[in-house]
Amino acid sequence: MRTVIETLVFSAATACLLVSQVQAADNLSFKGVLVAQACTIRPGDELISVKFRDISTSSLYLNTRTPGEPFYIHLQDCDTQIADSVTATFSGAENAELPGLLALATGSIARGIAIGLETVTDQPLPLNLASPEQALNDGDNVIAFKAYVRGEPKAIANESIRKGLFMANSTFTLAYP
């Protein structure tokens, strides 16, 4: 133990001698921007999972899509002095046959379908386009959306939708205009 303490004392004394011989220069600067957040996302809503009920292929052949399954983004501590509205933009891999809808993720067994997004008033929300502005209140707010499954036109025409598990991934970005 005594050796360790002596070594530390020696190193500190050596460092003091070296510092006294170094000249100071302005060669390091720090920059940044401080911003006030309009809202915070409720913990747990950073990763939202939408689970669809079992979907029959015959229903997709008949109706081309499922009813929308609601999901919500909860915002907390909103300050309307900073922003009084919010938009959401969803991004992800786009389905080649149904532009604006999400393609299924690698590893999905199902084929011939895509995931669509819409507002609670059934207005389509294509990928990479901002949703309509939603007014914010001070405090907590909830933004509601719906997701649905739609059959690809060729798969519906040929009745070739493949059943099985499926997944799709999207990232949402909130903007406070």
What CATH number does the domain containing 56 carry?
Answer: 2.60.40.1090
Cα(32)–Cα(37) distance, integer angstroms: 15
Phi/psi-derived region of residue 91, left when phi > 0, alpha when psi is between -120 and 50, beta in every other case: beta
Provide the residue count of the chain. 177
What is the Cα–Cα distance from 153 to 99, expressed in whole angstroms?
Answer: 12
The reported pTM is: 0.80
Say how many domains are in the chain.
Answer: 1
Q: Is residue 63 part of a domain?
A: yes
pLDDT of residue 115 exceeding 60: yes
Tell me whether residue 34 is in a domain: no
Write the pLDDT tens digit of every residue in 60-76: 999 999 999 999 999 99
Whether 156 is covered by a domain: the verdict is yes
Classify residue 154: in a domain, yes or no: yes
Q: Name the residue among 172, 177, 165 with its Cα closest to residue 147.
A: 172
Pairwise pLDDT comparison (154 vs 22), residue with the higher score:
154
Residues 27-52 have a mean pLDDT of 89
Query: Domain for residue 66, yes or no?
Result: yes
Which residues, 6 or more positions from 160, have their beta carbon under 8 angstroms from its beta carbon?
111, 112, 154
Would residue 8 count as lying in a domain? no
**In the chain, % of residues over pLDDT 90:** 77
